[in-house]
Amino acid sequence: MAILGIDIGGSGVKGAPVDTARGELLEERFRVPTPQPSDVGSVVEAVAEVAAKFTGYDRVGITFPGVVVDGVTRTAANVDKSWLDAPAARLFSERLSVPVSVLNDADAAGVAEVAFGAGHDQRGLTMMLTFGTGIGSALFLDGTLIPNTEFGHLELDGKDAELRASDRAREQEDLSWEKWAGRVQDYLRHVEMLLSPRLFIVGGGVSKKADKWLPLIEVRTPIVPATLLNNAGIIGAAVTAGQAHGHPGGFPVDADQPS
Ligand code: BGC
């Protein structure tokens, strides 16, 4: 049976059944706006609305834009604070009546990119960074996820990095591509100084416009745009749910072996 992947984002909750062996959507995805406020009850209902569009799945993988440990959401930088310490996997699983795995959104996108996209067969340390409402990070060593890194919250120029270099900061401050790329470059240089990754993969909505800003960035580390774009979170969530074999919660993912 298929696995449903659902991606909870800052503006939309999107989902589709996934072929987890190929990393492809089996049907067109369905999207509803993220409820505002994005409290636990409202988001659980939005997820249920997306899930109700599909049939024929026996487990669900869900992304969340914060730290997720053993199915419990631990941080809520860009969502309602009711998510702090919420038993998310249990709540979703009770509402959807199937086993549910929940993982961080950037981790999910990274799992998909490492299994099927820009990070495929990459050895050593690979770092996926998503630039959207916040900055998400996912770190892989030889294809294995080190979950729940939060490098979007490094301090840059005395501020939380995501407040200066996320795509939301670009939009809110109406920054030119040059100006924003300068901030992203400062951020990436800081990250490479700390971690020396072999590869940066940049994702999030803004990676669709990579031609506008990626050529402006000079860092030592090779840097490539994500290739699965909008669907990476959905695919990575489903792959992870497949690997969890019905046990809700956060699992270290061996993304080289999608089931
Ligand atoms: C959160 C991360 C998340 C990122 C992207 C950050 O504010 O702390 O957990 O991955 O935003 O949504």
Pair (214, 234) in one structural domain: no
What confidence tier does 257 reach under pLDDT thresholds 50, 70, 90? Answer: very low
**Ligand 1 nearest atom to the CA of residue 67, by list position:** 9
- Give the pLDDT confidence of 179-208 residue by residue, as tens digits: 999 999 999 999 999 999 999 999 998 988
Question: Measured between alpha carbons, how far is 196 from 24 in angstroms, rounded to an integer?
Answer: 31
Residue 250 within a domain = no
Residue 86 within a domain = yes
**How many separate domains does the chain show?**
2
Range of the domain at 97: 2-107+230-244
The answer to whether 128 and 226 have CB atoms below 8 angstroms apart is: yes
Q: What is the residue type of 173?
A: E
Q: Facing residues of 100 across strands?
A: 60
Pair (129, 169) in one structural domain: yes
Residues 49-57: what's their mean pLDDT? 97
Pair (55, 137) in one structural domain: no
| CATH code, domain with 83 | 3.30.420.40
**Ligand 1 nearest atom to the CA of residue 66, by list position:** 9
- Give the pLDDT confidence of 67-81 residue by residue, as tens digits: 999 999 999 999 999
Q: What angle do CA 207, 129, 145 make, to 5 degrees?
A: 130
Q: Whose CA is nearest to atom 10 of ligand 1?
A: 136
Residue 67 within a domain = yes
Q: What is the DSSP letter of 34?
A: P
- Give the pLDDT confidence of 100-137 residue by residue, as tens digits: 999 999 999 999 999 999 999 999 999 999 999 999 99
Pair (164, 154) in one structural domain: yes
Q: What is the DSSP letter of 65?
A: S
Q: Whose CA is nearest to atom 6 of ligand 1?
A: 134
